[in-house]
Structure 1
Amino acid sequence: MQIISTQYGELVPQHTSDDLRKREILPVEFHGSGGVKSVPLENQTMIATPAGDIPAELVSFHENGTINRIFPLNGKLSGYWSQDDEAGLARPVTLTTPIGLVRAKVLSVSFYDNRSLRSLTLWPGETLSVPTPAGPVEARIGVSFTPEGKVRSLEPAKPVTVPTRAGEMTAYDPDAVGVNGDANSLVFDEDGKVCQVITTLTKLTVVHPDGHTHCHIPETRESLCSEAEQEVVPMTVTFTRDAVSVSTDPDAAPLVLPREGHVFFAEPHLPQLANPFVALHCSV
């Protein structure tokens, strides 16, 4: 055991293990410059941050020594210790955020290297009401902020219709994975306009300069639950100042169309209505 000195006080790295939650001793990691990169802690330790005091079992740092991410819990999931077991130890934390005072169970809290809050990652089942430029939205998984404190992105807890440069689109990703809340399905630009939507419930029609039209819709794939069923693959639509990009295949490069000369129309797309008697068990 060697105590690690940081801008946030002295931290005691993990140096023992147990048979359930911590089945191995994790190493302290360092940046190439020699500064500490991450420290798994022997005991949950309260860390004072600009967002408030946060209990930590794992802390990572930027190269300048400021906190990158705090994990209140850091148990190892296994056949002996489940996510439900770990969730039983989670306690709500109260944080000062750009959207006001928040009290929620968090998987992690991330900061920029200037100490401003970057993102909150919520425990599965937790939701948070977020005021956005498109109105209040109930978020799951996480919400991220710009360094200036504006809402950058969030993961809608249920399908939500938002205004875009192509008209109203429904943001929701049934396949969203709650690894962290840094990047999400509904994204806003610096002006507060929607600049990216991940959707299974919107069709995008493009009118090309020569007058012909093409419709982009979410594709389908064989369901992970049953070979006899199909499920919808979320489609990503991104708006920039000069172009609109559409991605219907996560393994392929997106189609990029210049805004000049093209016209874009969004409208509802309900793929499950093609076969209304078969429920989609794995997605929406």
Structure 2
Amino acid sequence: METLETRYGNLPVDGPVDRYRDGSLRAVSLDGPVALETSLGRLTPQHTIDDSRRMQLPQLTFFPNGQVRSLPLETSTVVDTPVGELPAELVTFHENGAVARVFPLNGKLSGYWTEADEAGLAETLSLDTSIGRIASRFVSVAFSPDGELRSLTLWPGEEVTVKTPVGNAPARLGLSFHSGGALRSLEPARPMETPTPAGVIWAYDPDAVGISGDENSLAFDLSGTVSRVATIRSQLVARLPGEAPRELAPAVRESICGDGDHEITPLVLEFTAQNLVARHGSIGKPFAVLPRANATFVAKPFVSAFAVSFAPKRCSM
């Protein structure tokens, strides 16, 4: 059995070893039990394959400085985090050794093990946060390098009601926090009237994808003012001195299913100290950057939205 010498001791190796250009260890699979001393205590990386949901031996990964980065666990282990004890099958770390993210489950999705199968194993956890206690099934709980709660990623289908700067709001997919604990963003579970610097907008993004709760469509600055909002129900009329009024609205596109139906691409508005930035979709390029000084904005319903389904079209075979 080949072994590698690391800052955590000798590691038994299974298969090839991945290294950085300078020769330092990047990733390796293990061939036997070993305990690693971490900021969460002594943890045993996964080194066996046991059933249909853990059919693959995941790699243990490292930063160039030798600090463990991603640590899949042999068995579900309760770890003591900044928000209390959490069950974990996978933990990741920052380069300074502090915990970065805790995954209560870490099954491998395949034709034999589906997301629904994995979700069926998820238990409801209750966490104390700066905006109150939140109980849900979590895909992951993330922390900043200095140990503050950074974000919560919810299982698809989960919904929680949280306290926000604009009142209590239903959230899905995820929510995130500023340093210091103030709510930074959330993903609205349904359209909600939201006061913004440009007027009241119906906030909702049907295209939101819950890969992580770090970034969401409704965001707030440290003062609690809306800094980003996505909408399919509202549009803006912008008026600048000496210029014709300009309409900023969601985009209606033909369905990707190609059956003559239509879908809406959300209008995403971002508010900086100087400008209002408008784009279609969360990753689209801005189609308008308007100065906020001396400008007036009027929000009104986007009428076309009421003729188009709010939910993304699901194509049939």
Percentage identity across paired residues of the two chains: 45
| Aligned 8 A contact 1:143 1:184 in 2 | yes
Shift of 1:225: 3.9
Matched ranges for 1:60-99 at <5 A: 60-99=92-131
AA in 2 matched with 1:66: A
CA–CA separation in structure 2 for the residues paired with 1:52 and 1:257:
45
| Aligned 8 A contact 2:206 2:310 in 1 | no
Tell me what 1:182 maps to.
Answer: 214
Tell me what 1:264 maps to.
Answer: 297
Instruction: Determine helix, strand or coil for the equivalent of 2:116.
Output: helix
CA–CA separation in structure 2 for the residues paired with 1:127 and 1:280:
18
Shift of 1:248: 1.9
Tell me what 1:282 maps to.
Answer: 312
Larger RCO (alpha carbons 8 Å, 6+ apart): 1
Shift of 1:144: 0.7
| Aligned 8 A contact 1:120 1:143 in 2 | yes
AA in 2 matched with 1:220: V
Rg larger in structure? 2
Shift of 1:247: 0.3
| Aligned 8 A contact 1:17 1:25 in 2 | yes
Matched ranges for 1:1-284 at <5 A: 1=32, 2-248=34-280, 250-273=283-306, 276=307, 279=309, 282=312
Residue deviations 1:50-99, cap 9 Å, x none? 21111111100011111111110011111100111101110011211111
CA–CA separation in structure 2 for the residues paired with 1:142 and 1:279:
23
Tell me what 2:28 maps to.
Answer: none
Runs of 4+ in 1 over 6 A off after TM superposition: none
Shift of 1:246: 0.3
Report the CA distance shift for 1:176/1:281 in structure 2 as closer, same or farther (over 3 A).
closer
Instruction: Determine helix, strand or coil for the equivalent of 1:271.
Output: helix
AA in 2 matched with 1:259: R
CA–CA separation in structure 2 for the residues paired with 1:177 and 1:45:
28
CA–CA separation in structure 1 for the residues paired with 2:243 and 2:286:
25
CA–CA separation in structure 2 for the residues paired with 1:263 and 1:219:
22
CA–CA separation in structure 2 for the residues paired with 1:95 and 1:168:
31
| Aligned 8 A contact 1:52 1:94 in 2 | no
Shift of 1:211: 3.4
Shift of 1:214: 0.8
RMSD value over aligned CA atoms? 1.6
TM-score (norm 2): 0.84
Residue deviations 1:145-202, cap 9 Å, x none? 1110111100011101111111100110001111111111110011101111011111
Aligned length: 280
Instruction: Determine helix, strand or coil for the equivalent of 1:182.
Output: coil
AA in 1 matched with 2:304: P
Structure 1, unaligned runs of 5 or more: none
CA–CA separation in structure 2 for the residues paired with 1:259 and 1:6:
49
Report the CA distance shift for 1:232/1:207 in structure 2 as closer, same or farther (over 3 A).
same
CA–CA separation in structure 2 for the residues paired with 1:279 and 1:243:
31
Shift of 1:226: 4.3
| Aligned 8 A contact 1:146 1:152 in 2 | yes
More moved, 64-73 vs 240-249 = 240-249
AA in 2 matched with 1:214: R
